[in-house]
Amino acid sequence: MLVYEFKLKGKQQQFSLIDEAIRTALFVRNSCIRYWMDNPKVGKYDLSSYCKELSANFEWANKLNSMARQAASDRAWAAISRFYSNCKKKIPGKKGFPNFKKRGHSVEYKTTGWKLSDDRKYLTMTDGFEIGRLKLVGTYDLHFYQIKDIKRVRLVKSADGYYAQFCIAVDREIKVEPSKKVIGLDVGLNHFYTDSNGEKVENPRFLRKSDKTLKRLQRRVSKKFRKAKPQSNNYKKARNKLARKHLKVSRQRKDFAVKLAKCVIQSNDLVVYEDLQVRNMVKNHKLAKSISDASWYQFRCWLEYFGKVYSKITIAVPPHWTSQNCSNCGEIVVKTLSTRTHECPHCGTVLDRDENAALNILASGLSTTGHVGTNAWGENDLCLNLVTGLDKLAQ
């Protein structure tokens, strides 16, 4: 599934109608949650049928396309099914009970309620809101795909404008020559990651670099806020500036993760990384902001995506003791978080702490795939066997 995003150009009246459609989709979603709370035994198709009742009872809800109402009920059912799944798996902590949403940011259409122009540069919304024709601004070319391949069209409201996202059902697969290389990655805060070859990538710290600007914009928003009174236009402008800055930071973080993950996957045939539980790690309030700014989970998601696209192997291994074990002899060398150098008293190995962890991660991944494990370093015959095995995988 590919998602192509275009910015929308239109009149302010059209954007107001998009806001109305988003609020209607949010109403349908919240109503389905309420219906499930009152009738716990209902299923996905019962919620879809309930959308028809909502359109009959509320005239303004009938303006929304029928498939868009079903897409809103699908969002409600996704929250419900996730709650059921977490309860079934007995995940510790909160199970994610479905809640009502106060604000919505998008409305999703399926195969009806919209129409593309012949030149694929204009999008016309054909439901009861009468949004009309909107211009698509972007670099993607939709002529490569049939209209029947577009399974979803999503109108998204963002801090810097309105966007249209096209979800296209296509299998993306790129064939490349095998690089005959393997790598283990140890992510960190001093450096974004250190690999098993000793190479390091600096942590960009986008949020930290923008911290001063964000605090200044937040102070302006707070000063212009009026309690228990309608907010002024100056308050809305200040809030929009703050939202734009946060949006820029998130886009910088995503761009960095995408480009770096693609580079790592293209350069190696097998990538091993830690299976980190970031949700638990951010409970450390001294490091939570830095961990969130590093976006390790987003980087992992893009590694797995590009691994599938380029037919490369990606392995997540348990992170336990990867920093404490010696990568040469396997003995445990206890270190605090502030100790950045691994010095083994048993075999005399001296390495950077993160490089030692990356070697342990790679060894754990190789043992998982059935290849040569911890003794492969520096042995020519064993490395040759490893490369031969990777050649067979690539074929």
Residue 381's pLDDT band (cuts 50, 70, 90):
very low
117 and 196 part of one domain: no
d(CA 306, CA 297): 14
What is residue 25's predicted lDDT score, i.e. its pLDDT? Answer: 95
**152 and 282: one domain?**
no
When divided into structural domains, the chain yields a total of 2
Q: How confident is the model at residue 384 (pLDDT cuts 50, 70, 90)?
A: very low
Q: Is 127 in the same domain as 199?
A: no
Contact call for residues 319 and 185 (beta carbons, < 8 A): no
What pLDDT is recorded for position 62? 92
Query: How many other CB atoms are there within 10 angstroms of residue 238's CB atom?
Result: 21
Q: What is the pLDDT of residue 284?
A: 87
Specify if 256 maps to a domain.
yes
Claim to verify: residue 186 and residue 76 sit in the same structural domain? no
The answer to whether position 104 is within a domain reads yes
**Tokens 């450096």 map to which residue?**
191
**Residue 278, domain member (yes or no):** yes
Q: Please report, for the domain that includes residue 362, its CATH number.
A: 3.30.420
User: For residue 322, is it within any domain?
Assistant: yes
**Is residue 299 domain-shared with residue 369, that is, in the same domain?**
yes
pLDDT at 279: 85
The answer to whether the CB of 129 falls within 8 A of the CB of 141 is no
Same structural domain, 253 and 340: yes
The long-range contacts involving 15-21, CB below 8 angstroms and separated by at least 24 positions, are 15/162, 17/129, 17/130, 17/131, 18/107, 18/129, 18/131, 18/155, 18/157, 18/162, 19/157, 20/129, 21/63, 21/64, 21/68, 21/107, 21/127, 21/129, 21/131, 21/155
Residue 364 to residue 376: CA distance in whole angstroms: 12
CB-based contact 241:191 (threshold 8 Å) = no
Segment among 206-215, 302-311, 369-378 with least mean pLDDT: 369-378
Q: How confident is the model at residue 26 (pLDDT cuts 50, 70, 90)?
A: very high
Confidence of residue 27 (pLDDT cuts 50, 70, 90): very high
pLDDT of residue 369: 61
Q: Mean pLDDT, to the nearest integer, of 327-349? A: 84
89 with 122, same domain: the answer is yes
Residue 196, CB-side half-sphere exposure with 13 Å CA sphere: 28
Q: Are residues 292 and 339 in the same domain?
A: yes
Q: What is the pLDDT of residues 234-254, one digit of tens each?
A: 999 999 999 999 999 999 999
Q: What integer best gives the mean pLDDT of the chain?
A: 88
Residues in the chain: 395
| 190 domain residue, yes or no | yes
Query: Residues 78, 197: one domain?
Result: no
Q: If you average pLDDT over residues 88-101, what whole number do you get?
A: 88
Residues 159 and 194 in one domain: no
In a domain, 74, yes or no: yes
pLDDT digits (tens, 9 = 90+) for 112-150: 999 999 999 999 999 999 999 999 999 998 988 899 999
Does residue 215 lie within any of the structural domains? no
- Regarding whether 268 and 155 lie in a shared domain, the answer is no
The answer as to whether 262 is a domain residue is yes
* Exposed / middle / buried, residue 308 (Cβ in 10 Å: 0-12, 13-18, 19+): middle
Q: Decide if pLDDT at 227 tops 90.
A: no
- pTM, 2 dp: 0.84
Structural domain that includes position 249: 182-204+244-394
